[in-house]
Structure 1
Amino acid sequence: MRLIVWTLLASLFLFGGCDYMGTIERMDREQRAAERSAERTPAPTPPADGFVRDGADEAASVAGDAIADGDAAQPRITILENGMTVLTQADGRFPLASIRLYVRAGSGWEEEREAGISHFLEHMAFKGTDRRAPGQVAGEIEGAGGSMNAGTSFDYTVYYVDVPKDAWRLGIDILHDMTVNPSLDPDEFESERQVVVSEIEMGEDTPGRRQFKALQEMVWPETSYGRPIIGFRETLAEMTPEDMRAYLRRLYQPRSMLLVAVGDIDHAEVLQKTRTLFGPLRNQGPLTRPVELPLPLFSGPVVRVEHGNWNKAYLSLAFPVSGLKRQEAVGLELLAQLLGGGQSARLPRKFRYEQQMVDQVSAFSMTLERGGMFVIQAVCDADKAETFVRALAEEMAGLSPHDFGPDEMARAKLQLEDALYRSKETLSGLAGKLGYFTFFEDGQVSEDNYLFSLRTADAETLGGVMDEYLRSDRLASVLLLPEGTELSGDALAEGVREIWASPAETAARHETGARGEVEVVELDGGVSVVLMPDATLPYAAMDIVWPGGGVLEPQGAEGLAAFTSNYLGKGAGGRTTTQLQDYLADRAASVGASARRDAFSVSARYPARFAAEVLPIVRDMILDPAFSGDELGRVRQEQLAAIKQREDQPLGLAFRRIFPFLFEGPGYGTHHLGIPESVSAFQPDDAKAFFERQRSAPFVLSACGVFEREAVLELARDLAARTGPRRSVEIAPPVWKDERQATAHLPGRNQTHLVKIFPAPGLNSPDAPALALLKEALAGQSGILFRELRDRQGLGYSVTAMLWQTPDSGFLAFYIGTDPDKAEQALAGFEETVESLSREPLPVAEVERAQNLMRGDYWRDRQTLGSRSGEAAGLKARGLPLDFNETLLDKAGKATPEDVAAVASRILRLDKAYLFTVTP
């Protein structure tokens, strides 16, 4: 559905605002989750937005049967006297509330001279209000144990907070204050202007964002959609606080706002609070209804080639399509799913698996209010780029809606429908999809119409959108190539024109329940089973975790654990890769393996009704993996491609190389994905030998959701009996190296990235609670590093702290992405922060903020079934109790400023610190 696409785009290249900062800020939390979870295999992106209907049709009733009483309430909508809309849904599954404020004010509403003002305003909303000083907005939310962020798109800006249930009033108050009363202080305005410029530079260093910016200009020329959401350096340089106030008066009107509140809340109380705060607002002038852009706005095919310091070739093809309220939107989404919505889809099957022409290929349909794009993306080796472009043109030229068989159609429909319902797992996801459908479509009826259109879609539906939109004369394409690659955009466009039939010829061709108690069952040989019933949704998650992973790799075989985990998914139990992918896709299920530096896992996610068909796949993957010689080349190619793609991104390069820089020995001191020489030498027998050793280790199997207890236990017993005898795995603590500085170069980029690393004790240390608090105090939008280096000094867009730990060791790291000329000043800022922490303990309010943020993070991190299943398996496999995180949280809640100061003085030693730098 549409909101699946929004989730993908937000992570790749679409949204402006603080979302990317949020991504960086969450890295450490995800690392903590990684220590608890086995989930490391690529999977379809779960939707963060969408709409949960009231259960009138069959699929909704299936989900509704298992929903707990606390989740049974329906959305309630109220329109205030001034036109503002308030939507609430009570959901008592978690002691949390998720609140979003949508404003119909995005880059699509800007005048040309204002380009970027929507996104800039979103930044300034965090920089102080008439009642709150800079940093206080985020400080109060994080101090209450919540998190907040915002994002700017073409058609809207959204501000959102996720808070403990007792803090929902604060959340609404904050959203009101920052959007109605931003102070727009001139000094803060100038400082944040530089931060936005830094964000522009960061985007230019990322292949996906560069491509999308170019596609905007080509697909929507001379329109507001054709300008980047983040704006231009030139327009930002001319912008003034008074310009922003005028923009606020014009677009931030109550009838252009929607407030959504979901969670453990009361409708009447939320409505009263919202009316008190927002009710006095008055509309300042008329609003213009959005007018759909005419098609086409250009004549294709057009291919733009850009050369740069890339390891890979990155290709994006886009076709302009209609806006989101047109009936064709469902057909476009179904076609995108059929072509590139997963590994079983048409394009990955042909070009990645069968022909090994690309590393990745996908498709999606993005629909906005006034128009949209149908996009196909691919990554490949530069010497295969021209061949792939021509082959893809041939594929599209010969494509008929009748090529998709009943099984393919049913699978794609199930996957889209499944994604719609899975978004209900988290309160934030539910709030997002409720808000989006209410703000831009027709509320609850939109999902009814969507599901009806999806279920009744057929070849005629596909043929209609293919004829209307997927035409060679409406193709715009951007190709990023490594320097020295001799390919011409004009020549590629002419090649496509020769291959792809005219629209007339194409048209002619188309004619022919509530959670139960946790149970732990101990089996022989150190095997454990953790059972966590949860009937909220009719789904299940299963994780099997063995200690080992990278630490089991033989000398000179770094990357073998990751190689083996990928190989496991390439056929099992007599099924080939494609047969396995089809089988799982037909059941909206995923089963995959992943490897960490100290663990190896197999994970499954599936609708509960398909358990009897999915569990045998898990069994086969572990007991009867194919390790086929036919798949060897593909597995090698995928891993080599992943290495190159990591090294095309500054942060990817940094975190790929930091561990070998810091540590000695296998696992911790190696490149997790290996190096090209080792990966190119791996053979099937290497993977077989590694997995034979790995699966004989003691393991933990965890299941969360709706499952049959005996079926899960039977699987665990079978695996234990057939992979023994058990051989224990000794995981030694990481051994630190003596060299304390290293630099990696990434030519052609804009920014320098600095990671200052302080060795720290592990999870088993009595210092762990206070250390976690120290990290929280340093990180976050109201954290010490952010306030000092970004807010006060304007040194960079991304500034945070990260904590990585094993049971016995770990590190605390400071991170910033900054202008090369400001690198020394940023390092000095790091040192000043350390010195200030050594002078005196943190204020009580700072420690309380960190404690509250830890509590909020804990609940947010474990809302999904998969997160809870992975947490349990990961903890127990590492010898930690299942309540380890809760106990850590409790101890952190009792820590004092003096406890944090003592830990800071022991850990933040500049003479013991390491520095890793990525320079342009």
Structure 2
Amino acid sequence: MLKRYTLKNGIPLFVVESASAPVVSIQAWVARGSTHESAKLAGISHFLEHALFKGTKKRKVGEIALEIERCGGEVNAFTSFEETVYYATLASRYFEEGFDVITDAVQNPSFDAREMEREKEVILEEIKRAHDSATKTVFMNLWALAFSGTQYGRPVLGYDSTVSKINAKSLRQYHHDNYHTGSVSLFVVGDVDADKVFDLAQKKMARMRKPKSKPLVPKFHLPKLPTIPVSTASRDIKECHAYVGFRTPAISDSLIPALDLFCSAIGQGESSRMYQKLVKTDRIALDADMGLVATNSCGIATIGLSTAPEKLYDATRAAYDVLEEVAREGAKPEEIDRVKSAMESEIIYGKQTVEGYAKRLGYYHRHFGDPEFEKRYLDMIMGVKAEDLQTALKIVTREKPVISLVHPQGFELDKKKLVGLYQRPKVNPVTKSDTGIACEKEAGITFITKRSSELPVRSLRLIFLGGGSREEEKDNLGISNLFQSLWTSGTKSYSSLDLAHTLESLGASISSFAGKNTCGLSVDFLTKHWHRVKPLLEEVLLEPTFPQEELDTERELTLREILSQRDYPSTVCQLNFLQTLYGDHPYGRSHLGTEETVKSFTRETLSAWYREYVHRGRLVVSTVGDFSHEEWVAELREMCKHLPVSGKESKSLIPVRRPNQLQVITAEKQPLFQSHVLIGFLGARLDDEERFALRVLSSCLAGQGGRLFLELRDKLSLAYTVAPMNSESIEAGAFAFYIGCSPEKLERAITGIRNEIDKILTKPLGAKELERAKQYLVGRFELDMQRNSAQAMLFGLDEIYGIGYDHALRYPAKIRAVTAKGVQAAAQKFLTPETAVLSVVHPTPIDEAFVRRAWDQKGPGTSANRPRKGLAELSA
């Protein structure tokens, strides 16, 4: 139940008491975003979001994140067109500490001039990273076209030219003018006492200044479109990414519920008309969807397409055909009912995490003036009729569309032809809990259950040992990936479309997965719908048919994915790293397989793979949700008894050969605004005790309060993104360091990573740093365990990997037992610089010797201020 308060100074406070988990989310919503900026200061709202974490009058640089992470939580923020949000999610026993951090940051930033200049470099890196992404570029260009000359046409991040001119003085002034009692709202959801939250808020927010003038309402005038505007950009990619947008009214307009329902019904989900026609039936797109983004002043309804260049025009025409079809015939009742049911269940699922719950309250308060408006909005959705969708379509498509496209280099776009495909459709409206975990083992099957009656939902996971990519041979690489894509694509009684329609109408899901070591099914549904989900699940589990039509479609999609996986520089960097680190071991291969093997797969090979690995021999069935243990296990037992008793045994452990020397692999990618670097080592197995120490080490390095962020981003301004990567498996995992930097900073970035590794190896962690890392891991674990789905999967995987279904109950104690010496010993065992693997992706050809020289340099000043001449030449 939501409790509403108003502080003495007028700040609204909204609190939801929820004891479902010992966690809390604290959020401060500031009604200021990029649309409140002047053109000269474009990007300052986002810059201010960064600046508020760089210290206050009583907290130094890095201490904000450190305090939250020390409490086992996470602190973050985001900026949009119309708001900036600061939030912390942590264990509820540290609520007061978290609340003090957020309210202090919002009210008392220090704006140290030197720190602001350093952070400016980080933000400029973030802008470069956005332009490196084809999907972000196509979306930014769409808004720039649709709302050219207005504040909504500018990117939230701003531009290089404007951000470069922002300084501590302008930030201080912008904060003074815009952060006050008239623009801030507070939201707290979690295991707290609402009245105590109110008392604390009165105290902590008492000194916040009042606005000196009337609330700022940005002026907005919708620009006219004399022609159909088209924006194009080329990248070193294999696919075309396109958006076709139709401008819509503001979010408060009465047309929005019908538009929202239209986009969801016609263009969202695999059973949607748009996806079925373009991807499944015509096979002219890799992905096709529709979406709606509405703001306080305007909005845009989009058709999103991902397709091969040679199919761009066909896909574009076909997407428009779908609009015309709906305009003529209207939406089908089952399409509308499916989305209405999905939206209803989304509200329930959205309350499973305190952070998600608080964000929903903040969103509806900011845009509709009432945090509980979601209920009224759902009522509006439920009241939409088929003819309302046609009316909405007619109104929106009266205007010219705007088209944004990012295509492969060398592709010659015929703009006239593309524009000619989009004519306004001729619309002829048609008048038509218990927290204990139980475990039972029987005939090779392990049933794990945990009752949770907080919400009427269940999450079920059926996990089979085997069937993952490590079982593959050279002649069937990628079969596990194609198998998991097709397992739920059809049964004896249900087609893929039948399954998708029925499940989406119930707000339920049945999906398949296959990783390195396991395969299985994930099932999530509202408790009241089990009787309708059960027959679908039984057929998917026992009688999959792998239809030829679906196989042909998925094969084509996979082949396109194989071709395009090297479109993304970060993916190239990771693929090269894993291949070099693991060599011939299965963990070093792409899960997609090769063109040759994927082309060879038939329905028979997929059916054989299913028979080999889907059986009772090594099956774990894990469920968390609202049910009676005895009755539920009896139903599952009856279902699973029809599976074969045994099948093919999974492979025994395959030794991973540890590198005995430094290995470097480089790649060139054009055009590229950043270099990508991944440096790493073989890591721990799931049964290694050192894995807990490596997790603590990773926690020390990660986050805004971590070593990598503070040293390489805050102090040296080398990158926007720098992070550790730690994975474990039944065989050797991996421990790595990633950094994305401007090409001219490559040498300093590599040397900077090496320096941080050397510090880890030579000096134990400090007591405060160690404690912060452990508190963060335990707190993060508690946050992750909020969802039934996460618990069900974790209990099941831990059991099938042999570390016990109740391992999660022991995990916090294992983490708390880690010592500084234990971390150093684990680092010295796994992080050996002379056997590191260095993967680099750079805009121009780069010499391996250059990378080795950068790695071998030591000391804080070797290259931080004196980049080598060779690097400047490489980056020119």
Q: If the TM-score is normalised by the length of the shorter chain, which range does it land in? A: over 0.9
**Corresponding residue for residue 381 of structure 1:** 308
TM-score, scaled relative to structure 1: 0.88
Q: CA deviation at 1:749?
A: 1.6
Q: Which residue of 1 aligns with 2:456?
A: 538
Cα distance in 1, alignment partners of residues 20 and 361 from structure 2: 17
Name the CA distance, whole Å, in 2 between partners of 1:177 and 1:401: 57
SS of the residue 1:496 aligns to: coil
| 1-structure distance, mates of 2:285, 2:404 | 16
- Report whether the alignment pairs 1:894 with 2:801: no
Q: Does 1:328 align with 2:247?
A: no
The aligned residue for residue 577 of structure 1 is 496
Cα distance in 1 for partners of 2:227, 2:628 equals 56
Q: Secondary structure at the match of 2:185?
A: strand
The residue type paired with residue 541 of structure 1 is S
- CA gap 1:645/1:367 in 2 versus in 1, 3 angstroms: farther
- Residue 788 of structure 1 deviates from its aligned partner by 0.9
Residue from 646, 651, 656 that aligns with 1:735: 656
Measure, in 1, the Cα distance between the counterparts of 2:577 and 2:758. Answer: 25
- Quick check: 1:314 aligned with 2:241? yes
* Matching of residue 406 in structure 1 with residue 329 in structure 2: no
Matched with 1:660 is 579
Q: Secondary structure at 2:410's aligned position in 1? A: coil
1:148-297 pair list within 5 angstroms: 148-288=75-215, 290=217, 293-295=220-222, 297=224
The answer for the alignment partner of 2:507 in structure 1 is 588
Contact 2:675 2:741 (8 Å CA) reproduced: yes
Aligned-residue offset at 1:414: 0.7
* 1:800 paired residue number: 723
**Contact between 1:85 and 1:255, CA under 8 Å: does it hold in 2?**
no
Q: Cα offset for 1:716?
A: 3.8
Give 1:349-364 correspondences, 5 Å limit: 349-364=276-291
- 1:872 is aligned, of 778, 792, 795, to 795
Report how far residue 693 of structure 1 moved.
1.0
- Kindly provide the CA deviation profile for residues 32-87 of structure 1, in whole angstroms up to 9, marking residues without a partner as x: xxxxxxxxxxxxxxxxxxxxxxxxxxxxxxxxxxxxxxxxxx11111223221111
Asked if structure 1 preserves the Cα contact closer than 8 Å seen for 2:341 and 2:505, the reply is yes
Alignment of 1:816-835 (within 5 A): 816-835=739-758
Task: Give how far 1:188 is off.
Answer: 1.0
Amino acid at match of 1:803: N
> For the residues of structure 2 that align with 1:292 and 1:736, how far apart are their CA atoms?
64
1:706 has 2:626 as partner:
yes
Q: Distance in 2 between matches of 1:95 and 1:396?
A: 48
> By how many angstroms is 1:445 displaced?
5.3
- The answer on whether the counterparts of 2:250 and 2:294 sit within 8 Å (CA) in structure 1 is yes
The answer to whether the 8 Å contact 1:307/1:480 transfers is yes
1:543 is displaced (CA, Å) by: 0.7
RMSD, matched Cα: 1.9
Matched residue SS, 2:838? strand
Tell me the distance in 2 between the aligned counterparts of 1:833 and 1:877: 36
8 Å CA contact 2:727–2:735 kept in 1: the answer is: yes
* 1:374-773 paired onto structure 2 within 5 Å: 374-400=301-327, 402-443=329-370, 446-471=373-398, 473-497=399-423, 500-501=424-425, 505-506=426-427, 508-509=428-429, 514-524=433-443, 526-548=444-466, 549-665=468-584, 667-696=586-615, 697-707=617-627, 709=629, 710-733=631-654, 735-736=656-657, 738=659, 740-773=663-696
Cα deviations across residues 198-235 of structure 1 (Å, max 9, x unaligned)?
10111111122101111111111111111000000000
Which of 139, 146, 150 is 2:66 aligned to? Answer: 139
Residue 145 of structure 1: how far off its partner (Å): 0.8
Kept in 2: contact 1:318–1:475 (CA 8 A)? yes
Is the partner of 2:326 in helix, strand or coil? coil
Of the three residues 80, 91, 98, the one matched with 2:18 is 91
Q: Secondary structure at the match of 1:282?
A: coil
Counterparts of 1:328 and 1:302, CA distance in 2: 25
Q: Which residue of the partner structure matches residue 12 of structure 1?
A: none
Rate the CA distance shift 1:158–1:604 in 2: closer, same or farther, 3 A. same
Match of 1:786 in 2: 709
Q: Following the alignment from structure 1 to structure 2, what is the Cα–Cα distance between the partners of residues 659 and 294?
A: 51
Deviating more after overlay: 221-230 vs 568-577: 568-577
User: Deviation of residue 712 (structure 1)?
Assistant: 4.2
Structure 2 counterparts to residues 114-125 of structure 1, below 5 A = 114-125=41-52
User: Which of 262, 266, 272 is the aligned partner of 1:339?
Assistant: 266
Distance in 2 (CA, whole Å) between partners of 1:450 and 1:692 is 47
Letter in 2 for 1:160: Y
1:586 is paired with a residue whose SS is helix
Q: Structure 1 residue 724: deviation in Å?
A: 2.0
Secondary structure in 1 matching 2:678: strand
CA contact (8 A) 1:117 1:236 kept: yes
1:336 Cα deviation after fit: 0.8
Q: CA deviation at 1:653?
A: 3.0
For 1:314, give the aligned amino acid.
Answer: H
Name the SS of the counterpart of 2:382 in structure 1.
helix
Please tell me whether the aligned partners of residues 801 and 814 of structure 1 are also in contact (alpha carbons under 8 angstroms): yes
Deviations 1:314-342 (A, max 9, x none): 11111111111122221111001111111
Alignment of 1:69-80 (within 5 A): 74-80=1-7
Distance in 2 (CA, whole Å) between partners of 1:669 and 1:907 is 18
1:513-572, Cα deviation, whole Å (9 max, x unpaired): x23421111011x22111111111111111111122112213232111011111112101
Separation (CA, whole Å) in 1 of partners of 2:628 and 2:97: 42
Question: Following TM superposition, by how much is the alpha carbon of 1:854 offset from its aligned partner in structure 2, in angstroms?
Answer: 0.7
Preserved contact between residue 559 and residue 672 of structure 1 (Cα < 8 Å): yes
| Structure 1 residue ranges, 4+ long, deviating more than 6 angstroms after superposition | none
**Counterpart Cα distance in 2 of 1:300 and 1:682:** 48
Distance 1:400 1:876 in 2: 53
1:234 alignment partner, SS class: helix
Q: Distance in 2 between matches of 1:588 and 1:130?
A: 49
Which deviates the most, 514-523 or 707-716?
A: 707-716
Name the CA shift for 1:347/1:322 in 2 (closer, same or farther; >3 Å).
same
Corresponding residue SS for 1:797 = strand
Which amino acid in structure 2 is aligned with residue 866 of structure 1?
S
Q: Is the 2:693–2:815 contact (alpha carbons within 8 Å) kept by the matching residues of 1?
A: yes
Comparing 454-463 and 658-667, the one that deviates more: 658-667
Q: 1:708 to 1:363 in 2, by over 3 A?
A: farther
TM-score by length of 2: 0.93
Alignment coverage as a number of residue pairs: 838
Deviation at 1:463, TM superposition (A): 2.3
Deviates more, 1:298-307 or 1:673-682: 298-307
In the alignment, structure 2 segments of 5+ residues that lack a partner are: 844-876
How far the C-alpha of 1:113 sits from its partner, in A, is 0.5
How far did 1:102 drift? 0.4
Q: Distance in 1 between matches of 2:627 and 2:583?
A: 43
- Percent identity over the alignment is 26
Alpha-carbon shift at residue 143 of structure 1 (Å):
0.9
Kept after mapping to 1: 8 A contact 2:150/2:221: no
Query: Could you tell me how far apart the structure 2 residues matched to 1:832 and 1:117 are?
Result: 33
User: In structure 2, how many angstroms separate the alpha carbons of the residues matched to 1:567 and 1:658?
Assistant: 29
Structure 1: which 5+ residue stretches go unaligned?
1-73
- Greater relative contact order (Cα < 8 A, sep 6+): 1
Q: Give me the whole-angstrom Cα distance separating, in 2, the residues matched to 1:453 and 1:406.
A: 17
Contact 1:96–1:162, Cα closer than 8 Å, also in 2:
yes
